[in-house]
Structure 1
Amino acid sequence: MKKRIHDIELFIKYPHDVQAELFRKLIDQAKNTDFGKKYDFKSISNYKQYQERVPLHSYEQLFPYIERLMRGEQNVLWPSEVKWFAKSSGTTNARSKFIPVSPEALEDCHYKGGKDLISIYINNYPDSRMFTGKGLAIGGSHQINEFDQNAESYYGDVSAVIMKNLPLWAQLIRTPSLEVALMDKWEEKIEKMAKVTAEENVTTLSGVPTWTILLLQRIMEIKGVDNILEVWPNLEAFFHGAVAFTPYRELFKKLIPSDKMHYWETYNASEGFFGIQDQIGSEELLLMLDYGIFYEFIPFDEIHKEHPKVLSLSEVEIGKNYAMIISTNAGLWRYNIGDTVKFTSVEPYRIKISGRTKHFINAFGEELIIENAESAITWACEQTNAIIDNFTAAPIYFDEGKRGGHEWIIEFRKKPESQEKFNELLDKKLREVNSDYDAKRYQDMALLPPKVHSVAEGTFYKWMEKRGKLGGQNKVPRLSNNREHLDDILEMLAAQA
């Protein structure tokens, strides 16, 4: 672990050298693939040539290559044999996405990220006793790839792909067994996981906050206890990612009432492992630069242009939002992953996840991003002693003689002392953190105050179940520029009433 901390310090000190070397290696390794031949990787000698020659790719544009891989072809995007695909929940678009996971991506990115996470955590907490017990990981499921007639490849949630391929030593220090962890029926899995892990000495948790909460609550019900420390007295850390943790912090404090509990954030996705919190009490993530991923960035105001300006890592600025573009050791070339990040530091390169390129509300020029929404809803909760479980929001479009606005569906674990006050504070904070929203809200001229529906506990769970999106990497879409999700939930509630 100490050796790895030294390696991390090296890429912190020489970020551009590390990325340049990695770029040359990726191009060289893929020069004889079908993709490499199409864009003549052999004659690419620098980043500028790569930028000029290889177009940016969305998932839809890269899918014809991925489909060939899924049907059993090889050497299409990457020279190594690809037998695994990470099935994304499809939050960038309605369909599921299948992301190729090469042996190099598993070993040099996902596993390396997991090992670095532990190394960085132990470096910050040298007295940790996490290895005296087991780590509980809440993962998804996997299945044989039916597109491949020879049935020699598989797909599943990225967590399932990682778990299924873990080395023996890693299997020994985790719980529950793979048989339980990879079950595909989510409700049965939660029940089985709760019963099995309640009897273990669990010292760390890792997973998505929403599904972790469900598991902890079920364990507490089974054991008849008031908090999870009565079951796992040695629990010390929760490694979390996928969604912002801030709105869930108060709820976790109730479930795990200990000042010694540590919350450590990661930024990993189906496409790769990108960032790790490296400082105590920080919400910033160190951008990991030696995982076989070459980074580029599109300024937020260029995202939807036909030919956007694309920046190298050396050109980014602190405080600005960028769409992240990656080229990887799994054959994703100049791939737009759909996330936006904001740099908080460039020495070293640290980021915050600020949203999704397709998850925002901009129906009236307000450019509301997820970071704004989560900041505002967290503050409104703090001021009204509320605890949130989940939320989503969408625009109320202009109608004849009516002004537009934003409509929210919020599921509270603990309702605010005053719903009216909560709504006012939500609006107030949104105006503080987003000047475009504030301008549209001026004297209610373009936008009316937010319309908020407070819904019963379990509403979002039922909706996700209805959509076949329970568990694993699936997440509730926070913001949408259309009313598809919001109207679907409202229709479901009306039918139940």
Structure 2
Amino acid sequence: MATKALFNTVVNWFIRQRIDQIEHFKQNPVETQEGLLFSQLFNAEETEYGLKYGFSSISNYKDFKKKVPIVCYEDFEPYIEKARQGQKDVFWPGVIKQFAKSSGTTNAKSKYIPITAESLEDCHYKAGKDLISIYVNNHPESELFQHKNLRLGGSAEMYQDFNTKFGDLSAILIENLPFWVEIINTPSKKTSLMSEWESKMKAIIGEVKNEDVGSLTGVPSWMMVLLQRTLQETGKESISQLWPNLEVFFHGGISFKPYKNQYKEIFGKDVRYYEIYNASEGFFAIQDQAGSDEMLLMLDYGIFYEFIPMDLYNTGVREAIPISEVEIGKNYAVVITTNGGLWRYLIGDTVKFTSTSPYRIKISGRTKHYINAFGEELMIDNVETALKTACEQLEASISDYTGAPVFMTNSSKGCHEWIFEFTKQPKCLEEFTQVFDRSLKTLNSDYEAKRYNDITLKCPIVHSAKPNLFYEWMASRGKLGGQNKVPRLSNDREYIEPLLKLNEL
């Protein structure tokens, strides 16, 4: 009892200290961000990137905007490749030894995001501590520390390439966690780092079914698969029967809206939900109010934020503004400068501000058409390339198409559904679907992971559209004309449902 009391005293002291620091940056957002920016410019001024763009001569934000370009991954990739080969002082001081691998580029299956010691400690791990601090501060009656946290990451295998390591961000985080964190987490580090998903799933269930779980952390689609299988294994009717002390699900990565009713049903009791906004590039925001759908932008994680209004971005203009100039309700493309060595980097996400005192946001989408209902990050470039391959192999051609997710239910897995208007029908639609699916796996490692053994995503459903279907649909919406385009990808079923109905008439 004395040890437990001491532990609670230390934890409560830490939480109070951190909540005070969060309140400070909420009250002083511009000063916090400017101080962070110039600290990082100073740190990197002797790097190759710093010398090229004159970091040492930058004395204000106006200089920073003028001298340092806004880049996407393709622009920055040559510097990343140098760092991956072990060169030091490329865009951040010293040698960067670890890179988080994720998909989503136009010319490569995967991208490699640098993970420095500073980004690991002052961003990703700091955010994990803050998530707990904010939650316990909001719910002082919580018994979170008396029970285990069930964590579920993605692919956890690390690879060696050149002189550096790369792998899923979750592998890097788990591999570098301090020993005391392992005490409160389940499954074990050994199980969490298993690479083969089927074996890993069985091992996780074998460990967690007998644990006293009080919280869950993970991506909603993957977590749902685990929970469904755990119920099948244990014969329980609901998660609350298995883990009666479960009180909160910390989730992120994809939209939670399609899953909320499923979770309510599978839990069998009221559970709190807290959303986080993180990526390989950094940890950006945390839901700081119970029951809210907004997240607090975390301003002291070593990330300097800029924003491009989407009405400008869509015209091809890369003109960013600092946080002090954003407006509530407008869509912005997010630009980040980080302690991981990314400089004015477009991450591809769009956000809307719901508040500027403090700065709270909602994720509004991506800068490109996409499907990311299951964490697959399927981009238009992936689809176009895969369709080209399928059309060439099956001697087909397509005039219009659109795709959308089919969301998981408690009795069925998710998948993608497509409707293609062929100007030349493929020799076999089933074979066309298989080639299209295989090509997407080749082009996109996240899609490949979700399709592995049909764990999360089943094979796509493909429909052949009647002639002129898309013309009729666009006409019915008053969207005929050269300035109006058929939405190729959507993260919901807003477009595909009316098209499927119209195709049946």
**TM bracket (short chain):** 0.7 to 0.9
Inter-partner Cα distance in structure 2 for 1:413 and 1:163: 30
Instruction: Indicate whether 1:98 and 2:116 are aligned.
Output: no
CA–CA distance in 2 between the matches of 1:143 and 1:412?
A: 30
Contact 2:404 2:490 in 1 (8 A): no
Of 66, 80, 92, the residue aligned with 2:80 is: 66
C-alpha contact 1:343 1:352 (8 A) present in aligned 2 = yes
Q: How many aligned positions are there?
A: 406
Corresponding residue for residue 301 of structure 1: 311
Kindly report the root-mean-square deviation, in angstroms, between the aligned alpha carbons of the 2 structures: 3.4
Partner of 1:158: 169
Partner residue, 2:242: 231
Deviation at 1:408, TM superposition (A): 3.8
Find the counterpart in structure 2 of residue 146 from structure 1. Answer: 161
Q: Work out whether 1:310 is the aligned partner of 2:316.
A: no
1:291 aligned residue: 301
- Which residue identity is paired with 1:131? F
SS of structure 2 residue aligned to 1:469: helix
Is 2:204 the counterpart of 1:193? yes
2:353 to 343, 351, 368: 343
Q: CA deviation at 1:469?
A: 1.9
- Give the deviation of 1:413 after TM superposition: 1.6
Q: In structure 1, what is the equivalent of residue 406 of structure 2? A: 410
Contact 1:145 1:155 (C-alpha < 8 Å) held by counterparts:
yes
> Counterpart in 1 of 2:393?
none
For residue 95 of structure 1, report the CA deviation from its aligned partner: 1.7
Task: Check if 1:54 corresponds to 2:64.
Answer: no
* Map of 2:98 onto structure 1: 84
Deviations 1:397-434 (A, max 9, x none): xxxxx997855452452799xxxxxxxxxxxxxxxxxx
CA offset at residue 34 of structure 1?
0.8
Contact 1:12 1:349 in 2 (8 A): yes
- How far, CA to CA, are the matches of 2:215 and 2:171 in structure 1? 18
Q: 1:249 to 1:409 in 2, by over 3 A?
A: closer
1:60 Cα deviation after fit: 0.8
Evaluate the alpha carbon distance shift between residue 80 and residue 6 of structure 1 in structure 2; reply closer, same or farther with a 3 A threshold.
Answer: farther
Q: Deviations over 1:263-314 (max 9, x none)?
A: 1000011000000000011000000000000000001122244442211111
> Does residue 357 of structure 1 match 2:371?
no
CA spacing shift, 1:167–1:131, aligned 2, 3 Å: same
Counterpart residue number, 1:423? none
Q: Distance in 2 between matches of 1:157 and 1:393?
A: 19
Alignment of 1:203 with 2:183, yes or no, is no
> In structure 2, what residue type is equivalent to 1:282?
S
The question of whether the paired residues in 1 share the 8 Å contact of 2:377 and 2:446 is answered with no
* Distance in 2 of aligned mates of 1:77 and 1:99: 12
Q: Distance in 1 between matches of 2:43 and 2:140?
A: 39
| 1:91 Cα deviation after fit | 6.9
When residues 31 and 475 of structure 1 are mapped into structure 2, their CA distance, relative to the original with a 3 A threshold, is: farther
**Structure 1 residue 258 and structure 2 residue 269: aligned?**
yes
Whether contact under 8 Å (1:393, 1:409) holds in the other structure is no
1:10 and 2:24 correspond: yes
Contact kept in structure 2, 1:89 and 1:469, CA below 8 Å: no
Contact kept, 8 Å, 1:68 with 1:76, in 2: the verdict is: yes
Q: Report the Cα distance in structure 1 between the residues aligned to 2:104 and 2:75, rounded to whole angstroms.
A: 15
Instruction: Report the Cα distance in structure 2 between the residues aligned to 1:265 and 1:91, rounded to whole angstroms.
Output: 26
Report the alpha carbon displacement of residue 237 of structure 1 after superposing the two structures with TM.
Answer: 0.9
Distance 1:218 1:171, change over 3 A: same
Aligned to 2:340: 330
| Aligned-partner Cα distance in 1 for 2:407–2:304 | 39
CA 1:311–1:405 in structure 2 vs 1: closer, same or farther (change >3 Å)? Answer: same
For 1:143, the aligned partner's letter is: M
- In 2, Cα distance between the equivalents of 1:390 and 1:159? 16
Amino acid at match of 1:413: T
Rate the CA distance shift 1:87–1:309 in 2: closer, same or farther, 3 A: same
User: Aligned residue for 1:378?
Assistant: none
Q: Could you tell me how far apart the structure 1 residues matched to 2:369 and 2:22 are?
A: 32
- State the Cα distance separating 1:202 from its structure 2 match: 1.1
| CA gap 1:55/1:481 in 2 versus in 1, 3 angstroms | farther
Structure 1 residue aligned with 2:42: 28
User: What letter matches 1:346 in structure 2?
Assistant: T
Q: 1:58 to 1:168 in 2, by over 3 A?
A: same
Measure, in 1, the Cα distance between the counterparts of 2:142 and 2:204.
Answer: 25
Match of 1:271 in 2: 281
**Corresponding residue for 2:150?**
136
For the residue of structure 2 that corresponds to 1:413, the secondary structure is coil
* CA distance 1:279–1:210, change in 2 (3 Å): same
Residue 119, structure 1, aligned to residue 119, structure 2: no
Q: Does the alignment pair 1:179 with 2:190? A: yes
**Alpha carbons 1:323, 1:338 under 8 Å: kept:** yes
Residue 89 (structure 1) shift: 3.2
| Deviation per residue, 1:90-110 (Å, 9 max, x gap) | 377762111000000000000
- Percent sequence identity over matched residues? 47
| Letter matched to residue 17 of structure 2 | K
Encode CA deviations 1:353-390: one digit per residue, 9 max, x unaligned.
001111359xxxxxxxx9xxx9xxxxxxxxxxxxx999
Aligned-residue offset at 1:80? 4.0
Runs of 4+ in 1 over 6 A off after TM superposition: 388-396, 402-405, 463-466, 474-477, 483-486
Q: Which amino acid letter does the alignment assign opposite residue 38 of structure 2?
A: R
Deviation larger for 304-313 or 294-303: 304-313
- Structure 1 residues 233, 297: CA separation in 2 closer, same or farther (over 3 Å shift)? same
Structure 1 pair 342–93 and aligned structure 2 pair: CA distance change class (3 A): farther
Compute the displacement of 1:169 (Å): 1.1
Asked whether the equivalents of residues 389 and 412 of structure 1 are also in contact (C-alpha less than 8 Å), the reply is no
Instruction: Normalising by structure 1, report the TM-score.
Output: 0.75
Contact 1:318 1:345 in 2 (8 A): yes
